[in-house]
Amino acid sequence: MTIKVTIWNEGRHEQLHEEVQKIYPDRIDGAIAAGLADPDFEIRRGTLDDPDEGLPDSLLEDTDVLLWWGHMAHDEVSDGLIDRVQQRVLKGMGLVVLHSGHHSKLFRRLMGTNANLSWREMPEGDLERVWVINPSHPIAEGLPPFFEIEASEMYGEPFDIPAPDEIVFLSWYSGGEVFRSGCTFQRGRGKIFYFSPGHETFPIYHNPLVHKVIGNGIRWVKQPHTDGRILANWHRAEPIHKRPD
């Protein structure tokens, strides 16, 4: 079964920073798309500077799973787009939020919190070990007990999110921190997967194990069925009988 995947990438670092262009000549969304090459995925791409902020209704309504990468321009995304994406998630569209997308309007909206975290500047990056703590979870399919990212941006606890429905990955950093780096959430009928590795100045989206995680995440957030039973704003119900006498 084909899954219609739309990769939304803010796309600004690639325009502004030469070092990012070198690592991601086809942008971050291009690297992810290349890594996901799979006949099961029909991939479309959009960026903030495309028409309709990269997500016209026609595309959004035709998307089974949306990937979201943003960082420096969170505030430029219109509230109207956030409203539309949120409502589509609530109706069952899958969502994979990547790295600094934790601070996007979209993720904050779906979490109800600020989604803050600890952070450390380290131009050369830090060694991150991603541990699988729920080895039978479909998102961990095919992964070793842990894998390493040689140069990663440290994202540490406390991570200000509601208690996740499931924690799949916990990360360890050489510098002394830990992080819930792979978490799942359900909002309405929509499944959400947050995965933290993925900074723009490191070649993380060229890592085959990161591709594996994202591909597994796409398959997992894709609802196995959508049968149109979407809740109206109010559902009126009739009582089956009068009050007992």
Contact 236, 17 (CB under 8 A): no
Comparison of 24 and 173: residue with beta carbon closer to a copy of itself: 173
| DSSP secondary structure letter of residue 163 | P
Q: Where in 129-158 is the site for a copy of itself (CB under 8 A)?
A: 129, 131-136, 138, 141-142, 145, 154, 156-158
Comparison of 22 and 120: residue with beta carbon closer to a copy of itself: 120
Q: Where in 107-126 is the site for a copy of itself (CB under 8 A)?
A: 109-114, 116-122, 126
Q: Where in 8-37 is the site for a copy of itself (CB under 8 A)?
A: none
Place of tokens 């991603």: 130
Q: Does 95 bind a copy of itself (CB under 8 A)?
A: no
Comparison of 41 and 172: residue with beta carbon closer to a copy of itself: 172
Smallest distance, a copy of itself to C-beta of residue 115, A? 10
Comparison of 39 and 229: residue with beta carbon closer to a copy of itself: 229
Q: Where in 46-65 is the site for a copy of itself (CB under 8 A)?
A: none
Q: Does 235 bind a copy of itself (CB under 8 A)?
A: yes
CA 18 to chain centre: 25
Smallest distance, a copy of itself to C-beta of residue 220, A? 9
Contact 190, 94 (CB under 8 A): yes
Residue positions counted in the chain: 245
Report d(CA 126, CA 149) in Å as an integer: 8
C-alpha distances in Å from residue 229, one per residue of 87, 107, 167, 202, 225: 14, 25, 29, 43, 11
Q: Does 232 bind a copy of itself (CB under 8 A)?
A: yes
Comparison of 44 and 91: residue with beta carbon closer to a copy of itself: 91
Contacts (Cβ under 8 Å, ≥6 apart) of 244: none
Q: Where in 161-200 is the site for a copy of itself (CB under 8 A)?
A: 162-163, 165-166, 170-178, 180, 185-189
Q: Which of 9, 47, 86, 104 binds a copy of itself (CB under 8 A)?
A: 86
C-alpha distances in Å from residue 156, one per residue of 77, 104, 153, 195, 196: 26, 17, 10, 13, 10
